[in-house]
Amino acid sequence: MAEGDVSKYRMVVIGGSAGSLDSILKIVAAVQEAVDVAFVVVVHRGKSGDSILTDLLSSQTKLVVKEVEDKELILPGTIYIAPPDYHLLLENEYTFSLDASEKVHYSRPSIDVTFESAALVYGPALVGVLLSGANADGAVGLKNIADAGGFTIAQQPATAEVGYMPQQAINLTKVSVILEGEDIGIFLKTLLK
Amino acid sequence: MENSVKDEELDLLLDELFRSYGYDFTNYARASLKRRVSRLMIIDRFPSFAELLYRVRQDPAYLTRMVEELTVNVTEMFRDPQVFKTIREEVLPILATHPFIRIWHAGCATGEEVYSMAILLDEANLLHKSLLYATDLNPTAIENIRKGVFPISEMKQYSENYILSGGKHDFSKYYTAKYNWAKFDDRLKAKMIVATHNLVSDRSFNEFVLIFCRNVLIYFDKYLQDNVLTLFDDSLEKLGFLVLGSKENLRFSPIARKFKQLENRERIWRKVM
């Protein structure tokens, strides 16, 4: 831990489904000083290629918000959104890739797929956040992040709009910390300093 | 994740597939390939990577299955309906002026997109003077195009896509339902030429006025993407159209300067020089 005051974390992956939007908006608002970190948001949503989610997130932060294109470079200080109807993978620390293969947990994008891929690439330099949702997606992925030495955050199921998803992760692995949805942003802000 | 395939292991497998069978996956995007191999190990219950490699070496018959599972064959009819709407409204009126319409669906997997296009051509009264070349590297997948049979469970979704693409008919008029399958009209198939073609190793084989290659380039690395795009450029007549997947782009590719994207920003480019 002799890294001075530079955070060891270089990427934060955030997964959410039903009832997660509020927390996501609070998180992106809170972390806008974290210009050395890349953020990835994976949420379950419809297929349509509209830009509502990108616009909403952009309105809350100074950081660049964009939907990932195939083979896009991973840059710090940017919030990347997994595009609808594709799984989002990481080739290495510098490049995303997309994959249109079978749905996982009835979902494409699947949170598990991105979490596992990011854990393989970033190991202990990764933070995983799993939010409200009615689906088991993300639990295995969060465990992958923990097993690879990364930091894991689950939203408090009792007060989440839909507690099922974070609860699945808590049952499966020892998460680093369980937080109220509205506190995750502030916590990340400190963690990433 | 303890089951996930390591880089060195993937290299061994790719090397084997190339040396023994001539399939070159070396410039495929690795993150996706690793997932496919890990998935295959689970489905076919290989206790270790070594067992998988041994099977590939010893059992040529297993190769077909391997290739089938390493490549992604997920597709649907009228996927991204807006693209097909644009083709109906902006591309077909131009193609209509041609005496003959040659189309290539490159990497078309089980052929849903080829049937979608045949329906569009039929509705524009152009099918009689069209030929649709349907190719994929996976022999099992394209066999399905010859059959023209798709799961009935998908028809509700396809029918919705068809309507969103500007279709005016009852979609069910194009198929006959039989048990769990929808058998599509043989009239559509009559204009299709089905063949195996490997975008990595095979050359251009004709000149086309329209090429589809959607959600195939995402499985390739940048180097291979550029090679394949050059192959498309070589296979496309001047003023022809190239259709890519909704997150694929010509930008930063060597052929970009020769192509112009349609005004509505759908992933359709016209070869202007």
For an interface test with A, which of B1, B39, B216 has the most A Cβ atoms less than 10 Å from its Cβ?
B1
- Residues B26, B143, single domain; the answer is no
Our CA-based measurement puts residue B209 at a distance from the nearest CA of chain A, in whole angstroms, of 26
Contact present, A125 and A145 (Cβ < 8 Å): no
B1 domain residue, yes or no: no
Query: Of B50, B70, B90, which closes a domain?
Result: B70
B76 domain residue, yes or no: no
- Residues B27, B85, single domain; the answer is no
3-state SS record for chain A: CCCCCCCCCCEEEEEECCCCHHHHHHHHHHCCCCCCCEEEEEECCCCCCCCHHHHHHHCCCCCEEEECCCCCECCCCEEEECCCCCEEEECCCCEEEEECCCCECCECCCHHHHHHHHHHHHHHHEEEEECCCCCCCCHHHHHHHHHCCCEEEEECCCCCCCCHHHHHHHHHCCCCEEECHHHHHHHHHHHCC
Instruction: Provide the token pair at A106.
Output: 């009835």
Residues in chain A within 8 Å Cβ distance of B249: 69-70
- Residues B146, B165, single domain; the answer is yes
**Domain coordinates in residue numbering, chain A:** 38-191
Among B228, B206, B230, residue whose Cα is nearest residue B102:
B206
Task: State the average pLDDT for chain B.
Answer: 95
Whether A137 is catalytic: yes
- Residues B60, B91, single domain; the answer is no
pLDDT at residue B64, as a whole number = 86
- Residues B134, B206, single domain; the answer is yes
- Residues B32, B92, single domain; the answer is no
- The residue segments making up the domain with residue B42 are 7-70
CATH classification (class only), A38-191 = alpha beta
Helix (H, G, I), strand (E, B) or coil at B89: helix
| ∠ CA B67-A102-B3, rounded to 5° | 70
Residues in chain A within 8 Å Cβ distance of B221: 71, 91
Angstrom distance (rounded) from CA B103 to CA A27? 48
Catalytic entry in A17, A23, A117, A132: A17
pLDDT at residue B105, as a whole number = 98
For chains A and B, CB pairs below 8 A equal 67
Contact present, B179 and B145 (Cβ < 8 Å): no
- B30, B36, B217: residue with CB nearest A70: B217
Catalytic entry in A20, A23, A44, A132: A44
- Residues B128, B248, single domain; the answer is yes
Contact present, B239 and B270 (Cβ < 8 Å): yes
pLDDT at residue A2, as a whole number = 45
pLDDT digits (tens, 9 = 90+) for A100-146: 999 999 999 999 999 999 999 999 999 999 999 999 999 999 999 99
Catalytic entry in A107, A110, A132, A137: A137
pLDDT at residue B3, as a whole number = 63
- Residues B253, B163, single domain; the answer is yes
pLDDT at residue A51, as a whole number = 81
Q: Is B215 on the interface with A (CB under 8 A)?
A: yes
pLDDT at residue A1, as a whole number = 44
- For residue B36, the chain A residue with the least C-alpha distance is A101
Query: Of B51, B70, B89, which closes a domain?
Result: B70
Residues in chain A within 8 Å Cβ distance of B1: 116, 119-120, 144, 147-148
- What are the residue ranges in chain B where pLDDT is below 50? none
Whether A48 is catalytic: no
Our CA-based measurement puts residue A32 at a distance from the nearest CA of chain B, in whole angstroms, of 27
pLDDT at residue A5, as a whole number = 55
- Residues B267, B193, single domain; the answer is yes
Among A120, A121, A109, residue whose Cα is nearest residue A14:
A109
- Residues B256, B227, single domain; the answer is yes
CATH number for the domain including B267? 3.40.50.150
Angstrom distance (rounded) from CA B226 to CA B44? 34
pLDDT digits (tens, 9 = 90+) for A23-63: 999 999 999 999 999 999 999 987 766 688 999 999 999 99
- Residues B133, B24, single domain; the answer is no
- Residues B12, B38, single domain; the answer is yes
Instruction: Provide the token pair at B97.
Output: 């002026």
- A70, A90, A102: residue with CB nearest B218: A70
Number of domains in chain B: 2
Q: Is B31 on the interface with A (CB under 8 A)?
A: yes
Query: ipTM value of the model?
Result: 0.90
Angstrom distance (rounded) from CA B85 to CA B237? 23
pLDDT at residue A41, as a whole number = 98
Angstrom distance (rounded) from CA A106 to CA A3? 42
Residues in chain B within 8 Å Cβ distance of A51: none
Instruction: Provide the token pair at A152.
Output: 């894991």
